[in-house]
Every structure is written in C-alpha cells, then in structure tokens.
Amino acid sequence: MESRKLFVSFKMSEVCNLDCPYCYFFFNGDDSYKTNPARMSVETAERAGKFLAQGAQELGIPTVSVALHGGEPLMVGKKRFREIAETLMRTVSPHAELQMGVQTNGILLDEEWIRMFSELNISVGISIDGPKHVNDTVRYDKKRRGSYDRIVKAIELLKKSHQEGLIGEPGALAVILPGTSAREIYTHIVHELGLLKFDFMLPKDSWENYSPEMTDFIEKFSLELLECWLEDDDPKINVRSMKNVFAPFLTDFGVDMRINYIVDLTETITIRSNGDVSPDDSLPSISEEYRHTGCNVATSTLKEFYDRPLWSDLRSSVSTPPETCAKCEWLGYCGGGELITRYSKSRKFNNPTIYCSRNKALYRRVRQYLSDYMDLKDIDERTRRSNELAAAELVFEA
C-alpha cells in the first residue's frame, strides 16, 4: 500500500450523553460498545500511538489524520482527553505529520475545553441537524430533551474563540433527515448561526438495508443544497461535499486531490477503546469479519493488519469496479462511492454506490453550470483525463 494519508477514526469514548436514534455507532448491529471500555485508557492510547507511528514508517505514510471520536469524545473528561492527545503527539509526530480533529455534540463544551484544543492544535467540528424543530426531533438526550439550545450555546462559544484566534474555523456536521428542506437547514446553519464550514453526512446504508425512497429524497436534497451554495457564490462558505463535486472540474490539481482522496479513503481504519482495529467504522455493521478482525494495537502492526485476507478482498472488490462504474463518464470524480454504500451480500463491494443516481445528477448540474463560464470541450477533456487517471490509480497492488 502506498497511501498519502491514513485516516483514523479513534474511538476514545464508547458512550454518549445523547440518544439519537439514527446513530450508526450505537444502532448498527455492532454491539461491541457494550463490552468495550467506556473510555480509552492512556496505556491503550500509548500502544495505538506506537502502532500508528510504526505503520507510518513501515508503509511510508507521510500524514496521519486522527478523528477523535466516540460515542461522545468529551465524555472521557478533560484530564484523560489531554493525556490521550499528548500521548498521540509524542508517539506519532516524530514519524509522520499528525493532524487531530474532534467531532463533538457540544453538550459538555466550555472555555476550558477550547483552551485545550487551542493548545494542542485540535480542530473542532460540532454536530447539529438544523433549526430547533428539526434538530430536537432526533438529537435528544436519554430523557428525550432536545439538544438544540445547548448546541447553539456551544456554537456561540466556538465562534467567539475563533474570532479571538484561539481555534480555527469551527465546522458543523448534519445528518440528512427524511422530509427536511436542504434550503431551510442551509440557511439556518450558514446565515442564522454563522457557521461557514459545514457538511451533511449521507446515511451509511448498503444495498442490503437502503430505502429507494430515501435515496431519491437524498438526491433531491443534495441538488437543492448545491443550488443554495451556488446562489450564495461566496468562497468563504465551505460545504465540503459540494466542493468535492466542483473541484475536479476546475483544475488538474483538483482532479489529483479528488483521486488521492478516493484512494486514501479506501484504507481508513478504526481503533476502538480497547485497542481493537477494524476497517472504516461503517464496515463493522456488515459482518463479524469486519467487526472482530483479530487485530489489536497491542499485538499487531498496521502492516500485518493490511496483510489480512479481509483487505485483499476489499482491495480486489474496489479495483474491479462493476461494469456500470468502469464505463461511467464520472468514474474519476466519483470513484464508485463509499465502501459501505456499495455493499451487498451477494456481490460484496462489486456494486456502484446506492447514491449513484445522486452523484451523476450533481456532476451533470455542475457541468451545465460551468458551461456558462468555460468551454464545454475543455470541461469534458478534463473529465476524460480524470477517468484515465482513476482507472490506473484504483488498481491496488495484490
């Protein structure tokens, strides 16, 4: 494997102070959180840091991007959080560039947390699903109390801290909920709450459990979101998924970035609070094979983990896309989609993403939009070249 960036979903906490019914960590069929430690120990963090450092050295990975995740990561408490983050810095940083970000629901956030993030150079993302009447229907605590007011307080604190130069621009992440309006949620988050960096998370469904009505809805939602973003036409507003659709159309650099992102993401790993290692944290919901890989940071190396048969299966599934993808004019921009969304029991990952129609619709709309500013021949030539590059890059070594 020759990756440019290793993405790590780092489950420092396997408990949460909210009870959102759609949460893919707690309600995806993988119940390991019930027996795993609620909080990762510093000893496990030390082993995880050494595991990542050794892996980066052996596999020539220059950048390790760690998402400090849960459950709710702030539930580990300030002292433990600092110890874990400092342990990762001490063990990984001498061997690879270490990027750390925390994704929180904001309930516990206060000025002391922000000072720690500032000191340890940790970027912050907050989860919110829209205005109060949308957010509080799903993002509630165990007593069914909505979280909106508490989240907004945390957002105000994050914005103030950003203005004071303590932290970078805070990000927001929302889940797409059926029956909601992309325009209403976009307007609320960007223009009313003033969060300029945000994105929507697509449901991590597979061909086994997806709903055609929901994927149709998500296609319409995504197109509406794209229109809102285009209407604003403001480079300060950073909606990552929409930028990802746009960037490869504009420059060869954008094409390279997109393909690198697709390739790197195929080998994302998860480290659980007990040190167990599994592929991308949506995959354990599929089967026991991905839930309990037999690898732990205490007893395996990253190289040994990648040498497991499950990875050769994953790689060969990815490197032999189904005919629809191999012949698709958007292969270089899409790459076939996130692995979980390609999965079915009978064909494993040998399917296009369940969001294929959405992706095609977005690419078609961007092509049409750009044709007012660029020559269509140039647009299509870049798309063709990106397909050639992707076809070469997506073939993994055996």
The footprint of ligand SF4 (CB under 6 A) covers: 324-325, 328, 330-331, 334, 336-337, 352-353, 356, 359-360
Considering beta carbons, is residue 181 or 241 the nearer one to ligand SF4? 241
Considering beta carbons, is residue 84 or 356 the nearer one to ligand SF4? 356
Is the bond preceding 71 in cis, omega lying within 30 degrees of 0?
yes
Q: How far is the CB of 246 from ligand SF4 (least distance, A)?
A: 16
Give 321's contacts (C-beta < 8 A, 6+ positions apart): 331, 336, 350, 352, 394
Considering beta carbons, is residue 106 or 321 the nearer one to ligand SF4? 321
Q: How far is the CB of 202 from ligand SF4 (least distance, A)?
A: 13
The residue among 49, 56, 53, 108 whose CA lies nearest residue 78 is: 108
Q: How far is the CB of 185 from ligand SF4 (least distance, A)?
A: 25
Q: Please state, in angstroms and rounded to a whole number, the distance separating the CA atoms of residues 126 and 164.
A: 18
Q: How far is the CB of 369 from ligand SF4 (least distance, A)?
A: 18
Considering beta carbons, is residue 91 or 353 the nearer one to ligand SF4? 353
Q: How far is the CB of 7 from ligand SF4 (least distance, A)?
A: 20
Considering beta carbons, is residue 162 or 360 the nearer one to ligand SF4? 360
Q: How far is the CB of 177 from ligand SF4 (least distance, A)?
A: 24
Considering beta carbons, is residue 180 or 350 the nearer one to ligand SF4? 350
